[in-house]
Copies of this chain bind each other. A is one copy, B any other.
Amino acid sequence: MMKTKGIKEIAIIAGVSIGTVDRVIHRRGKVSAEAKKRVEAAIKETEYRPNLLARSLVNKTKVKIALIIPDSGSDEYWQQSKAGAEEAKKNWDSFGVQLHTFHFHLNTIKSFETATRKALLLSPSAVIFVPIFFKQGIDFVTECDKQKIPVVIFNTHLPGSNPLSFIGTDSVQSGILAGELMHLITSPTGELLVLHFDEDARNSPHMIEKEKGFREFFKRQQPGQARRITTLTLKNKRYKEQLKSLFKSNNFEGVFISTSKAYEVGEFLRNEKNPNVKIIGFDLISKNIELLQKGIIQFLIHQNPRKQTELSISSLCNYLLFNKPILRSNLFPLDIITRSNLSSFVSDEGK
């Protein structure tokens, strides 16, 4: 009884042809209400689940994805992202997925616009991008909407857009986390410093949110008396001099750096033989890692650009190929890294 499997079986049950079954499954072509109902009933009854192998065997290479990310030149963060993209590409090309990557310069709006233009020339099935530039990001999303191309945004939130999916971390929350960690490792009244490195304005939304979260933590913690928390934004490249005068006239117990430049502070303090200042920063880049291992930086918060990129791609592929539901907003775990759990994160190449 009922030996055949899959679409054929449900065609028999519903008393229609497999063509019709295909039509209702994919909502394409015309199907009479009657037939549709019967097919859907049969699908439920048999708990039919499509054979993904057969499907992608037939649909080879129909999925083209354009990935638009910052140039990874000397930027380790984006190098890690790129590595994730390559990993994902390897994983999905057996399913006929074509991943085309377009790079742009972090400081050049034009290069971003060029990248998006080139990406659209592919007429991709979907687009993944990092909206470093607000206005141009919105423009791009609008254009994609017009062309009915699904958009996935990652790493940076783009307020006012409504992408298929957003994947990234919660900057405010990461600031709160940094606040808590700082609280745990400093004395209750120790003075704190929040340091921004503002060579590239592109980071400013992140930076502001992180500081907001950081201060928020202490506000909640001690609603009455606030700790003394100083903020400073280092704008030009002469960090050392600025840091020197800063630490001469203050007695900070801890420094929170809102970008990946924690190592600048770490190196400075190491040279000054000032080992008692606690440092918390972001990102597993090599200079930070070195100072973490030496115990000069206490905590790094890891945003995992590699996995963010990988996941952006694979959740999109799963959605496109296999109809798997995709999360509208996928906030990434905030990994806390110390010298003791570092190794399990950096050797984490094999997924």
A184 CB contacts on chain B under 8 angstroms:
184-185, 298, 338
A56 closest partner in B (C-beta): B53
Judged by a CB distance under 8 angstroms, whether A164 is at the interface is no
Contact of A16 with B by CB under 8 A: no
Cross-chain contact B94 with A340 (CB below 8 angstroms)? no
Query: Cβ of B327 and Cβ of A344 under 8 Å apart?
Result: no
Residue in contact with A331 in the complex, picked from B177, B330, B344, CB distance below 8 Å: B344
How many angstroms between the C-alpha atoms of A78 and B105 in the bound complex?
47
Q: Find residues 16-67 in chain A having any chain B CB closer than 8 Å to their own CB.
A: 49-54, 56-57
* Contact among B169, B180, B315, B341 with A333 in the assembled complex (CB-CB below 8 Å): B341
Chain B residues with CB under 8 Å of A341's CB are 173, 177, 333-336
* Complex interface bits, A94-115 against B, C-beta within 8 A gives 1, otherwise 0: 1110000000000000000000
Q: Is A332 engaged at the interface, CB distance under 8 Å to the other chain? A: yes
- Cα of A332 to Cα of B185 in the assembled complex, Å: 26
Cβ of A180 and Cβ of B339 under 8 Å apart?
yes
A171 CB, min distance to chain B CBs, angstroms = 12
Chain B residues contacting A223 (CB-CB under 8 Å) are: none
Q: How far is the CB of A24 from chain B (nearest CB, A)?
A: 19
A298, A334, A347: most-surrounded residue (chain B CB, <10 A):
A334
Q: How far is the CA of A217 from the CA of B325 in the complex (A)?
A: 45
Q: Does A120 make an interface contact (CB < 8 A)?
A: no
Write out the residue numbers on chain B whose beta carbons fall within 8 Å of the beta carbon of A348: 333
Contact status B53-A95, CB under 8 Å: yes
Does A159 reach chain B (CB closer than 8 Å)? Answer: no
Is A311 in the interface zone, CB < 8 Å from B? Answer: yes
Chain B residues with CB under 8 A of A331: 344, 347
A350 contacts B327, C-beta separation under 8 Å:
yes
**Separation in Å of the A306 CB from the closest CB of chain B?**
12
Interface centre among A315, A330, A340, by most B CB within 10 Å?
A340
A93 within 8 A of B: yes
A268 close to B (CB within 8 Å): no
B94 touches A50 (CB 8 A): yes
Q: How far, in whole Å, are A173 and B184 apart by their CA atoms in the complex?
A: 22
Within the complex, what minimum Cβ distance (angstroms) separates A208 from chain B? 18
A sample of 5 cross-chain residue pairs with beta-carbon separation below 8 angstroms, ordered by A number, consists of: A94-B322, A177-B341, A179-B340, A325-B350, A327-B350
Task: Please provide the 8 A-B residue pairs with the shortest distance between their CB atoms, ordered closest to farther.
Answer: A177-B340, A336-B336, A52-B94, A334-B341, A333-B344, A53-B57, A180-B340, A184-B185
